[in-house]
Amino acid sequence: MQAMILTAPGRPLELQQVARPVPAAGQILLRVKCCAVCRTDLHVVDGELDSSALPLVPGHQIVGEVVALGDTVQGFESGQRVGVPWLGWTCGNCVYCIGERENLCPDARFTGHHLNGGYAEFCCADSRYCFPLPDDYADEQVAPLLCAGLIGYRSLRMAGVAQRIGFYGFGAAAHILIQVANHKQREVYAFVRPGDDAAKQFALSCGAVWAGESDELPPESLEAAIIFAPVGALVPTALRAVAAGGTVVCAGIHMSDIPQFQYHLLWGERRICSVANLTRRDGLEFLRLAPAIPIATEIHRYPLQHVNEALDDLRHGRYQGSAVITVSH
């Protein structure tokens, strides 16, 4: 099969002919239809996330068709369309797994990071972490829901019942999550990179009640803020914008260092928390909710051999919404 391979951190992916994988016990073999691009892919490719197994096929928002089942697999059948998210394997035995908090499993492995992902014609995935996909969506439209949507959904849950919420960084996750927030009749205040007027307009067109630059204060104090941008300096910035009792949620898998800040920004029972991966409950709940809203995704298609272009466009903010890698067979 053809696959885009990461051979060393910081190097462009290489299009190679490699052996088609064979599903082990508990795995399913998928013919990849498409795979959405996530900022976490950039962190993997750039070497900002440690312990990647090289050579590696990145990509973790996979839409595929089941073509073979490993031993012991139940609940899936050949020809079925399924999605594969970031969380790709857990031990099943630790206190977190037993307590349905498998997102915190210390031995967890992640798709496109420890496990070969979806920038390829075929991939294998643990059947426990594959989701049947709603019929309401085309392949390319549903792919961004598998990380941008799922992590965003978990972030919104972490923000609690806040009615006025700030989104710092308005990309793939934010343009999905704002639709959930609006559905729940919450107000979203969008913060974008200084000078990015296109992102402001995009946020307003998606339903934000206000859009400004990341160093601005909103017209009203927020009850919560979700930081999608991997920028630690936004944590004290968001704390300034959040009222007493509010929560700042750090939604990224990776973030630059948080700078020192004065205690008064945190005082008043403000809280800072992180979002770690996702649970299967998150996936099942969100994929039921998405077509009921219904969530629409803005996508930009790239063929498999143009993955490096898609990653570079994401790095430099050249599109709004989500990039999706389409795979031809």
Amino acid (one-letter) located at 16: Q
The whole model's pTM is what? 0.95
- Residue 284 CA to chain centroid, in angstroms? 15
Q: pLDDT below 50 — which residues of the chain?
A: none
pLDDT, one tens digit per residue, over 238-288 is: 999 999 999 999 999 999 999 999 999 999 999 999 999 999 999 999 999
**3-state DSSP assignment of residue 76:** coil
Nearest to 188 by CA among 226, 141, 150: 226
**3-state DSSP assignment of residue 24:** coil
Look up residue 71 and give its two tokens: 């031993």
CA distance 280 to 75: 15
pLDDT, one tens digit per residue, over 157-186 is: 999 999 999 999 999 999 999 999 999 999
What pLDDT sits at residue 329? 84
What pLDDT sits at residue 51? 62
- Structural domains present in the chain: 2-146+298-326 (3.90.180.10), 150-274 (3.40.50.720)
